[in-house]
Chain A
Amino acid sequence: MARKPAKANRRHPLATVVLIAIGLAFTGGGYALFTSTATAQTDTASSTSQSSVDEGKKLFAANCATCHGMSLEGSTAGPALLGVGAASVDFQVGTGRMPLAMQGPQAMEKPPQFTEEQTQALADYVASLSPGPAIPTDDQLTANGNATNGGELFRINCAMCHNVAGAGGALTEGKFAPSLTGVDSKYIYEAMLTGPQNMPVFNDHNITPEDKRDIITYLKYIQNNDSTGGYDLGNLGPVAEGLFIWIFGIGAVVALTVWLTAKSN
């Protein structure tokens, strides 16, 4: 408005613009930082190494594109991967489930085909094309949460397929919920976040990151503490116990009766 004498102006004409820009950058950056750490990390991870994305693109074209399409659009042989995020790629490739050895009811776990760098490259590439859940950071995975809360959440949300002790269980048509014993915390977290195979998605609104950490804490607690009362027979419940008593209990007792009634020589 008042732009009369240029000398009287102590500020540069663009100072206001710069100030607004700085203010916006602070609020926006802060907002981004505080609200969605995950998305922010995707951005930094993908932006930090363009070479990783390029490497991932090559690997994807050579190993995944036959089924999932050159631009993640999917085909009759495999689903589209747009929006699955780095977490999904890291879970599927990192546990060896992808690439598939063969079509079947469900992708089977096997020794991973790719190195960690290659898996990361594939994840970076898929994440670079469309947004999706990122690979969890180490502080989300520390097993120092509340085991009680984790146990309750596990029994309510997970045990009907994975069994109360995480020993796994059957689903329909040959599909199954795998055993969770010895599974890396990262993969447990990613599975909850992305819902691989037949598993439902437990997003952060459904089970918060703290709750997810609690569940991991509970699983690690029951796995790291020796099973109370002796060998757990695979944590399979009464079926394993029944088989045991019929084979070893009755077996031992019958052997002893035979010994007791044997004619002395």
Chain B
Amino acid sequence: MTTIERSDTPHEVVDPAFAEAPKLAATPSSRFTAAAANYIDERTSISAVVKEFGRKIFPDHWSFMLGEVALYSFVVIILTGTFLTFFFQASMAPVIYSGPFVPLKGVEMSSAMDSALKISFEIRGGLLIRQIHHWAALLFIASIGMHMLRIFFTGAFRKPRELNWTIGFLLFILALAEGFTGYSLPDDLLSGNGLRIIDGMVKGIPFVGTWISYLIFGGEFPGQQIVGRLYTLHILLLPAIIVAMIALHLVFVVVHKHTQYAGPGKSNENVIGYPVLPVYAAKAGGFFFIVFGVIALIASFFQINPIWNYGPYDPSPVSAGTQPDWYIGFADGALRLIPPGLESVIWGHTYSWNILIPIVVLGLFISIVALYPLVEGWVTGDKREHHILDRPRNAPTRTAIGAAGVTFYAALWAAASSDLIATHFQLSIEAVIHTIQATAILGPIIAYFIAKRVCLALQKKDREIALHGFESGRIVRLPGGEYIEVHQQVDDYERWRLVTFNEYKPLMIRPNAKGKITQTQRLRARMSRWFFEDRIAPVTKTELERQSHDHH
């Protein structure tokens, strides 16, 4: 097969609708702006940057703004988090609570819990900031998840963006780490129980588990160290890495230029949309405040993590309804789904399979997520650059794999709330667990086949519409007595959207330079057959022409 190499990135075209906007006449204030701009430019040569960056084009689509939501939530987290550091004491030194919350008066707790309560009840605005911080964290990771799903299902991770997918994936993992360390800081009963689960998982690793646990906690759990250590990670190391990775992530977005959906005038060689200055900067700036507003609104009216209800951490009580925040739910769910009692003692060492299997399965799952772009690139053998997004239906196998992954994740996620599902729907918790166990294994398979068939059916429908148009519902009787239904042809723009997509065929096994067929080649051919055996070919020009002849 032949691959076409295109190293040049697409050039950017301003959306004609904007380009036609009238130029503003010079006024005294604009003359002042010009003079000020000139002053700065003569000293910094910034005009080159503004010229380059200000004319960056971003196409407009709602799904392109999900990553922005994540970015803005992160900014909100940094702002509120800074406020919280002014008052939080990351120490596990015991103190006696003497604040205004009556049911905890006189209770011994760590300074961390005491200061978190002080932020909640005594610092002016402290509770609101704490709630904004926590709600923003939930939204941050949720929007990262949505953003990743958008990238995956539209194939935006294809060359040249594979590395940026990996950076984004690392950001997702770092965000989980940030969330978990933050959840553990107040040292209340809930966070302590969360840490205890982590401690149990670490101790479940054969040979080194106990050593690692003692290393992490500075002795036997819970010790006196962990809050201080997590605090350093939470406010220093992890945010620093995240900021650096976000910067890199965005640099790549600029370097690669933004992807766009197929449409009239849009091609792999151009990007059509609005320039950063003035349109996109204004829109994005406004959108930041909208996201901030939504978070602040939620934080004003809805309580989150009422640590005063949980009380200080004490290793003996565990409350019903003890769950991690939603983004760690899938890991908690995996632990709940694994059948109990799976362990064996070999040569005096206990192997807790009920911990090791979930760790391995989750590790595999996130590895597949991280490496998927490389796998798909290798299977398709496609070395071309792709700047036009796929509609999910036009990549049936990828969409089906995504659907299977989402189903698996959703099953683990649901399992983390198995107790609440049981009480709220009046079911037995065993029945809930067994149902979700079956769903976690069979669900992805069923979802795979359903999603693939739905994609192929939608492709067939698109093909039908491109060739024959819509059924108009108007029945006409011909002079000869024959009845026909008049089909309404789609316009050229719409048809372009329907017919523009890549067609892949299964790769042929070919001998290499030495005339041998390697095992890798065979595997690749098998994978390729799996991906592309069932496919609907895009409508070709000849087919369209023949069709239009028939109908005119």
Contact = CB atoms under 8 A, between A and B. Distances in A.
Interface of A: 105, 147-148, 150-152, 155-156, 159-165, 167-174, 176-177, 218, 221-222, 227-233, 235-239, 241-246, 248-250, 252-254, 256-258, 260-261
Contacts of A238: 190, 305, 323-326, 329
A246 B287 contact: no
Contact of B131 (A171, A172, A229): A229
Q: Give 4 nearest A-B pairs by CB, closest first.
A: A169-B320, A242-B326, A174-B428, A170-B419
A233 B306 CA distance: 11
Contact of A245 (B65, B301, B305, B326): B326
Contact of A156 (B300, B316, B321, B329): B316
B60 A261 contact: yes
A218 B63 CA distance: 48
Contacts of B522: none
B303 A231 contact: yes
A160 B142 contact: no
Contacts of A253: 69, 139, 143, 291, 294
Contact of B423 (A173, A176, A256): A176
B309 interface: yes
B283 interface: yes
B429 A228 contact: no
Contacts of B64: 261
Contacts of B318: 159-160
B428 A172 contact: yes
B288 to A, nearest CB: 12
A228 B308 contact: yes
Contact of A173 (B63, B300, B304, B430): B430
Nearest to A178: B423
B472 interface: no
A248 B143 CA distance: 12
B102 A148 contact: yes
B268 interface: no
Given A170-B320, A173-B430, A237-B322, 8 more contacts: A151-B103, A155-B311, A160-B319, A167-B321, A171-B429, A229-B127, A238-B326, A242-B326
Given A148-B103, A172-B428, A256-B294, A159 B320 contact: yes
Interface of B: 60-66, 69, 102-107, 120-121, 127-128, 131, 135, 138-139, 142-143, 146, 189-190, 283, 286-287, 290-291, 294-295, 298-306, 308-311, 314, 316-327, 329, 416-420, 422-423, 426-431
Nearest to A254: B62
Contacts of B422: 170, 174, 176
B382 to A, nearest CB: 30
Most chain B CB atoms below 10 A, which of A173, A174, A221: A174
A161 B319 CA distance: 7
B304 A155 contact: no
Most chain B CB atoms below 10 A, which of A105, A150, A249, A252: A249
Nearest to B413: A242
A246 B69 contact: no
Contacts of A230: 131, 299-303
Contact of A241 (B60, B305, B322): B305
Most chain B CB atoms below 10 A, which of A155, A163, A218, A229: A229
Given A147-B103, A148-B107, A155-B314, A169 B427 contact: no
Contact of B107 (A152, A168, A170): A152
Given A155-B314, A227-B306, A228-B303, A221 B103 contact: yes
Contacts of A229: 120, 127-128, 131, 302-304, 306
B154 to A, nearest CB: 15
B153 to A, nearest CB: 15
A261 B65 contact: yes
A249 B316 contact: no
B320 A162 contact: yes
Contacts of B290: 256, 260
11 contacts: A156-B317, A165-B309, A173-B428, A228-B127, A230-B302, A237-B322, A237-B323, A238-B305, A245-B135, A257-B62, A260-B65
Contacts of A260: 62, 65, 283, 286-287, 290
A167 B306 CA distance: 13
B287 to A, nearest CB: 6
Contact of B105 (A148, A232, A261): A148
A239 B139 contact: no
Most chain A CB atoms below 10 A, which of B65, B131, B298, B303: B303
Contact of B190 (A170, A236, A237, A261): A237
A12 B419 CA distance: 77
Contacts of A241: 138, 304-305, 325-326
A151 B305 CA distance: 17
Contacts of B69: 253, 257
Nearest to A167: B321
Nearest to A219: B103
Given A250-B142, A257-B62, A260-B62, A221 B120 contact: no
B460 to A, nearest CB: 28
A177 B422 CA distance: 11
Nearest to A161: B320
Nearest to A156: B317
Contact of A242 (B103, B127, B329): B329
A164 B309 contact: yes
B430 A235 contact: no
A239 B421 CA distance: 10
A248 B301 CA distance: 13
Contacts of B302: 229-231, 233, 244
B216 to A, nearest CB: 23
Most chain A CB atoms below 10 A, which of B190, B287, B294, B318: B294
Contact of A235 (B107, B300, B309): B309
B147 to A, nearest CB: 11
A160 B303 contact: no
A246 B390 CA distance: 26
A168 B309 CA distance: 14
B428 A222 contact: no
Nearest to B291: A253
Given A245-B135, A248-B298, A237 B321 contact: yes
A249 B139 contact: yes
Given A233-B302, A239-B420, A249-B138, A151 B311 contact: yes
B428 A250 contact: no
Contacts of B131: 229-230
Given A228-B306, A241-B326, A249 B423 contact: no
Nearest to B64: A261
Most chain A CB atoms below 10 A, which of B310, B314, B423: B423
A159 to B, nearest CB: 4
Contacts of A148: 102-107
B62 A258 contact: yes
A244 B131 CA distance: 14
B298 A249 contact: yes
Contacts of A165: 306, 309
A249 B323 CA distance: 20
